[in-house]
Amino acid sequence: MDTKKLGKECPLFRQIDPEDLTALLKCLSAREVTAEKGEFIETTSGGKPLMGVVLEGAVEMISEDYFGKKSILTVLTVGQLFGETYSCLQARNRTVAFQVRDTCRVLILDYDRILHACKLVCRFHHRMIENMVELIAEKNLELIEKLEVSSRTSIREKLLTYLTRQAERTGSLTFTIPLGRTELAEYLCTDRSAMTRELSKLRSEGIIDFDKRTFTLKEPWN
């Protein structure tokens, strides 16, 4: 594994030297896994909690209710963590799962070894824990954004809230979203056909324009 590249691309290992990272990965029983589109990535093994880091591709964090209705909570891209919250709580009956969006590579880590520093009390282990806390805080903000969007009462408000947050995130009124139409409908917790009609109405009213996943906000709506 190219630890120099890993240190640059993965915020979990930020400010950790490549030689220290090699030792750290061994300490964490790190292993690389390749998964295909649609597969689920387990975050437990033999009852032991695991945590993952996306190395390539994307992983969807999804929630599925009793009747099988799927909702996308967030899309995890290169460098992002998954499974850390449920590993920490050791939740058994969770309804959240991690599904591969496209063929991807992930790094699987032993969560217990992350949380409890080794006997040598390595300074770079402490650096990694600090990085992990920052990344968890960032993900919490994403989930708060998801709650803000899905709690809107109409499809129009959900769409415009989501698109406004994407514009704010990129710092531009023209931006590309990470979701296709089906995925966007799942994220917004709404019907795809109804959402598509609302998108067309917003474009005809001159509020937005779009081409596939690229959108432009043309008029304020608040």
The distance of Cα 54 from the centroid of its chain, to the nearest Å, equals 9
Domain with CATH 1.10.10.10 in the chain: 152-217
The rounded distance, in Å, linking the Cα atoms of 81 and 51 is: 7
The rounded distance, in Å, linking the Cα atoms of 105 and 33 is: 6
What is the spatial order of strands in the sheet that 70-76 belongs to? 70-76, 59-64, 96-100
Please check whether residue 32 is in contact with residue 3, taking contact to mean a CB–CB distance below 8 angstroms: no
Structure tokens at 196: 């598509």
Please check whether residue 115 is in contact with residue 89, taking contact to mean a CB–CB distance below 8 angstroms: no
Unique residue bearing structure tokens 């704010």: 168
Domain with CATH 2.60.120.10 in the chain: 3-143
Q: Which residues contact 80 (CB under 8 A, 6 or more apart)?
A: 53, 54, 135, 139
Per-residue pLDDT of the chain (222 residues; tens, 9 = 90+): 788 888 888 999 999 998 889 988 988 889 999 999 999 998 887 778 889 999 999 999 998 776 777 788 888 999 999 988 765 555 554 678 899 988 899 999 988 888 776 665 567 888 888 998 898 888 888 888 888 998 999 999 999 999 999 999 899 999 999 899 999 998 998 999 999 999 999 999 999 999 999 999 987 655
Q: State which fold the 3-143 domain adopts.
A: Jelly Rolls (2.60.120)
For domain 152-217, the question of CATH label 1.10.10.10 is answered with yes
Structure tokens at 112: 């217990």
